Amino acid sequence: MVTVVGSGVSGLTSAVALRRAGVDAHVVTDRPVDELVSWVAGAIWTIPGVTGEQPMADWALRTREVFAELAADPSTSVRPLLHRSLHRDDPGPIWWESTSWVERRRAPAGYAAELAIRGFVIEPPGYLAWLRRELESLGGTVTMRHVASLDDVRGDVVNATGLGAAQLADDRGLEPIRGQVVVVQAPDVVDGIADESDPGRISYVYPRSDEVVLGGTRQAGVADLAVDPRETERILTDALALEPRLRDAPPVDVRVGLRPGRDRPRVELEHDGERRIVHNYGHAGRGYLLSWGCAEQVRDLLVGARRA
Ligand SMILES: Cc1cc2nc3c(=O)[nH]c(=O)nc-3n(C[C@H](O)[C@H](O)[C@H](O)COP(=O)(O)OP(=O)(O)OC[C@H]3O[C@@H](n4cnc5c(N)ncnc54)[C@H](O)[C@@H]3O)c2cc1C
């Protein structure tokens, strides 16, 4: 048996990938799903944030393939999204620009470049519920339990604990990256749009089936989960500048989450005597975007299988 510690997107996807490979995987978590950063996430698949560096690029592209399949089934809560990525300075040629799903367009006034990316929006409440149903249909379970030490878990372990790995894996390289989003109702907004000129002042509009998520913030080293009203105002102002159809959109919620920041995700096999620990944490703002690539690597590290 394999115990997957963590029921966010990293843990659930790992458990599903293992179950599909015939491994008896079960999940434990110390928090309900609606308290996780995985619940708060935007969450879209679009990759300006991923450089061509390996294995990240392969993980992102593999995840795109899976989301393309899942988007054919509405019950997964994954949907295609046209994402308009705006840049005040032309970013120049980018590694993924040669793909069929990215096209340069005439940029609007004030911008030097617009890249139209055919990506995906993942609606976390529905998608995490779908992952759990998928796991359970394959015989897996999700149990509430706090794990004080990985030594307390019998058998092989997948450590998908996000920021919890700072303590469980004694990883000093992890830090919270605070993110705040404002949720509004604006049924007329159908495309995603983001000003990606300045990593310090991110601004985006991500429409879902029943709401629109406006972002955001990326505050490294800040672990405060309280809503910052000044950030709410700034997010609303920046989003309106990007998408005038938001003018009369009433805010319905403000959400805050802590991304598990690390210089790069840790997907790695560790031997602990007879048993194996596979780490899968530290995805920062890319946990969804890399999820299937990382989960299949976890599977391969544990069962040695290669993707067909
Ligand atoms: C505003 C915002 C927007 C974002 N937008 C995007 C986006 O557009 N695209 C994208 O790809 N990503 C996005 N992200 C990032 C994404 O949310 C994270 O990368 C991802 O959710 C991390 O998932 P995880 O499963 O690794 O961690 P988590 O969701 O934090 O899950 C960790 C799990 O481990 C469990 N755990 C921890 N410690 C213990 C313990 N000791 N015992 C038992 N259980 C334990 C927790 O209970 C939880 O179940 C965004 C994040 C924010 C905040």
* pLDDT tens-digit map of 264-288: 999 999 998 889 999 999 999 999 9
Question: Class for domain 1-82+120-174+263-308, per CATH?
Answer: alpha beta
Atom of ligand 1 nearest to the CA of 42: 5
Report residue 211's pLDDT band, with 50, 70 and 90 as the boundaries: very high
Average the pLDDT over 18-25 and give the result: 97
Q: Which of 36, 83, 294 to mutate to test the pocket of ligand 1 (most atoms within 8 A of CB)?
A: 36
Domain locations along the chain? 1-82+120-174+263-308, 175-261
Please check whether the domain covering 175-261 is classified as CATH 3.30.9.10. Answer: yes
Q: Could you report the per-residue pLDDT of 129-143, keeping only the tens digit for each?
A: 999 999 999 999 999
Pocket of ligand 1 contains residue 206 by CB under 6 Å: no
pLDDT at 12 over 90: yes
Task: Please indicate, yes or no, whether the overall pTM of this predicted structure exceeds 0.85.
Answer: yes
Full DSSP string of the chain: -EEEE--SHHHHHHHHHHHHTT--EEEEESS-GGGSHHHH---EE--TT--S-TTHHHHHHHHHHHHHHHTTSGGG-EEEEEEEEEESS-----GGGGSTTEEEEPPPTT-SEEEEEEEEEE-HHHHHHHHHHHHHHTT--EEE---S-GGGS-SEEEE--GGGHHHHS--TT-EEEEEEEEEE--TT--SEEEE-S-TTS-EEEEE-SS-EEEE---EET----S--HHHHHHHHHHHHHH-GGGTTPPEEEEEEEEEEE-SS-EEEEEEETTEEEEEEE--GGGTTTTHHHHHHHHHHHHH-----
Residues with Cβ within 8 Å of 32's Cβ and at least 6 positions away in sequence, in order, are: 144
Q: Does 175-261 match 1-82+120-174+263-308 at the fold level?
A: no
CA of 62 to the centre of ligand 1 (A): 20
101-111: pLDDT as tens digits: 889 999 999 99
Is the CB of 260 within 6 Å of ligand 1?
A: yes
- pLDDT of 308 over the 70 cut: no
